[in-house]
Structure 1
Amino acid sequence: MFHAASSPGRNRAPLPPAQSPADGVPSPRSPRNSKNRQSSRTSPTSSSSQSAPNRQSGQRDAFFDNAKYLAIVLVAMAHAWEPLKDDSRILEGVYTVVYSFHMPAFIIISGFFSRSFDMRPDRLKRLVTGVAVPYIVFETAYSVFKRVVGDAPHAEISLLDPWYLTWFLCALFIWRMTTPLWKLVRHPLPLALGIAMLASVTPDIGNDLDLQRVLQFLPYFVLGLCMKPEHFRLVRRRSVRILAVPVFMIALAVGWWAVPRMNTAWFYHRDAVQELGAPWWTGPVMVLAMFGCSLLLTACFFAWVPGRSMWFTALGSGTLYGYLLHGFLIKGGDYAGWFDHPALHRPLGEILLTVLAAAAVTLLCTRPVQRIFRFAMEPSMEWAFKRDAAELARERERGGRREKVPA
């Protein structure tokens, strides 16, 4: 590469071709310098957290954008239900069912689009600007918000202790950095499950970087790395869609039954079994049991996701915006006492709050919101990175060719 960039004359070695960015890098959009190139071969909703392209037509598969949008709507709805669920057994049962699969579904998709990740400089840069920088910005913003609006003047600002929603960015950074290792080992999913089981009985891991969640949710990310497009097509068959109906009905019944019998903290994956007051051996058992249940319900969720372009398909490229921003609305409402209103604790109030949560997160995924908060979610930060030598050499080569063209 360096010889090619510095050798004069017409015998100079050819430069390597410019490589396209990795699919599925979790920053909300593609970098500026590839925007024009990607727009010619993808739909107008293209982003760096993009869905799998149709290899025959070169277009994005709307299924993945639809799945990301619907999953993030479920996340916002579940967060809105949290202050109300103790007053309604039905609502808490639904909450339990939704919590068992909405984040696993999102994490599996993230893993699926991380399959091509390696330590190439441009991909590392996108990981920093699309995940690490938003984590720092929003972890600080949430802490300040808690101090000012939440009337907690002594709330700490610590980048080592993710608060509320920012744990996912921290986890995503760690998972993606370990992707080359999972692609190297022979049996990645059993290994990831073993790590999650060990984490569930290790309270000494502590809260730094929310490692309990990072490790206990790890198998879903690794599963996504192991999946292929045909696996998603398998669960989207008509027979699976039909079978998903009774499965979800049974899950709702089990969720209602389990409300007084099971601690919902199991679904958060943020505590070791000792911290939940259960015998140590239940940790590994629950990791395996919940992994199986989550996969079953996630498959049902994917079976119901439409595969064609819908009115909300374009919003799939802005799900990270909706995820990080809706937390300010939920926490702000909690601090202001909105959830204490008696009307919200009745069935009609719960339905109204559900609709409002879905509408709010939908608005937060739109392009105008993306343009406003792009500085925090996808900064270019060209000043912070060295230019790739091959890219600089290609630019010089193009400039030399233009100079030789006669006027």
Structure 2
Amino acid sequence: MNRIPFFDNARAILIFLVVFGHMIQPFASDSHLINSLYAIIYIFHMPMFILLAGFFAKGSGKPRYILKLAKNLLLPYLIFQLLYTGLYFILGREEWYKGILHPQWAMWFLLSLFGWHILLILFKRLPAVWGILISVAIGILVGYTDLIGYGLSMSRTLVFFPFFLAGYFLTKEHIQLIKTKGLKIVGLLFTLVLFAFIYITINVDVTLDTDWLSGAVAYRSLEAEISGGLMRLIIYILASCLIVVMIAWIPSKDYGYFTRLGEKTLYVYLLHGFIIQPLREFDIMWFDQWYELSYFIILSALIVCVLSSKPVVNLTRPLVEMKWKK
């Protein structure tokens, strides 16, 4: 299949934001600037990743397709679940063992991706608007129960499914309609205003509880048993707006090496924890002044480049893609 540069550019940017977000996460509770950046990134970066995954799920539902997905997603999940469990044991984490049903680190995405394809078998039969509205309603209602949480990534699967379903119904024509100069300007202003609002609110009130953005925590745990549904709806709306802004700004041209980075995002996603977790454990990273963000940016970009490089991909392909040769 011919690759479309826009999608590879988008994935390259998003995987950088995943790594960068994980780099700055330990400092979110100590810095208003970091907490605001972290919030903005986490409002949209995984929802947009999920939307792009949905766009490429057009063949979902066929028995052979589901079997292929099980091999490509569930087997790597089992392997990396074991590897991260071993890493946490070596690092001396108290809760190093969670069992096979509770995803380690960022492994929830593999389980949820499989779950979204299964849900799609039913939801793709519905009209697009109704399907998305129903999935949003389910995503909001699931927060009112404590029975669905981290286990098998059930909560995240249901909470983020609207974005996967929207991606399935998304077309290249829709993307072109979004990519206008006017929307770029409006979107940039919206993002700046939202960042300023979060930054000011955090300074005046309290640090933002980023568990709101994970999709894995019940409202009762967030002390919002009644208002939690409204908060999640607001997050859905903000995420959708920021995704539109990103689509408007992400270039459609092929930028060579940068665009190629978007082809190996799964490698970066699965492997970057083996770098970041030891950095966290041994307190190698620090943040005192705003300009030190440049260190995180450079290191995050370096991690993306290294983990998507040919030597690393060739070495880890049997674990990630379940095959020895390309």
Instruction: Please indicate the TM-score interval, normalised by the length of the shorter structure.
Output: over 0.9
- Structure 2 partner of 1:301: 246
Aligned position for 1:324:
270
CA–CA distance in structure 2, aligned partners of residues 197 and 213 of structure 1:
11
Query: Could you tell me which amino acid in structure 2 is paired with residue 143 of structure 1?
Result: T
Q: 1:254 aligns with which of 173, 186, 197?
A: 197
Q: What is the rounded CA distance, in whole Å, between the counterparts of 2:148 and 2:161 in structure 1?
A: 15
Corresponding residue number in structure 2 for 1:274:
220
How big is each residue's C-alpha offset from its partner over 1:23-74, in whole Å with a ceiling of 9 and x where there is no partner? xxxxxxxxxxxxxxxxxxx5xxxxxxxxxxxxxxxx4210001001100101
Q: Give distance in 1, aligned partners of 2:28 and 2:93.
A: 25
The corresponding residue for 1:166 is: 107
TM-score normalised according to structure 2 size: 0.92
Indicate the SS of the match to 1:270. coil
- Contact 1:115–1:179 (CA under 8 A) maintained in structure 2: no
Partner of residue 36 from structure 2, selected from 93, 100, 107: 93
Structure-to-structure mapping, 1:8-407, within 5 angstroms: 42=1, 59-121=2-64, 123-148=65-90, 150-152=91-93, 155-186=96-127, 187-259=130-202, 260-261=205-206, 262-278=208-224, 280-310=225-255, 311-339=257-285, 341=286, 344-380=287-323
Partner Cα separation in structure 2 for residue 87 and residue 285 of structure 1: 28
Higher RCO (C-alpha 8 Å, min separation 6): 2
**Other structure's SS at 1:185 match:** coil
Q: What residue is the counterpart of 1:15 in the other structure?
A: none
How far does the alpha carbon of each residue in 1:122-154 deviate from its partner, in whole angstroms, 9 at most, with x for none?
x23431222111111111110110001x21376
SS at match of 1:152: coil
Instruction: Please identify which structure carries the higher helix content.
Output: 2
C-alpha change, 1:60 and 1:155, in structure 2 (3 Å) is closer
2: distance between equivalents of 1:207 and 1:124?
23
Q: How many residues of Structure 1 are paired with residues of Structure 2 in the alignment?
A: 318
Higher alpha-carbon Rg? 1
Q: What's the CA shift for 1:292?
A: 0.6
CA RMSD in angstroms comes to 1.7
Contact 1:135–1:169, Cα closer than 8 Å, also in 2: yes
Residue identity matched to 1:200: G
TM-score, structure 1 as length reference: 0.75
Partners of 1:207 and 1:154 in 2: CA distance? 14
Contact 2:50 2:167 (8 Å CA) reproduced: yes
1:200 Cα offset (Å): 0.9
For 1:290, the aligned partner's letter is: I
Q: Match of 1:162, as an amino acid?
A: P
Q: Secondary structure at the match of 1:200?
A: helix
What whole-Å deviation, never above 9, does each CA across 1:67-100 have from its counterpart, x for those lacking one? 0110010111011011122232122111111111
Going from structure 1 to structure 2, the CA distance change for 1:282 and 1:245 (only over 3 Å counts) comes to same
Q: 2:149, 2:216 within 8 Å by CA — same for their partners in 1?
A: no
Secondary structure of residue in 2 paired with 1:159 = coil
Gaps of 5+ in 1: 1-41, 43-58, 382-407
Alignment-derived partner of residue 404 in structure 1: none
Give the whole-Å Cα distance in 1 for the aligned partners of 2:29 and 2:96.
27
The unaligned stretches of length 5 or more in structure 2 are none
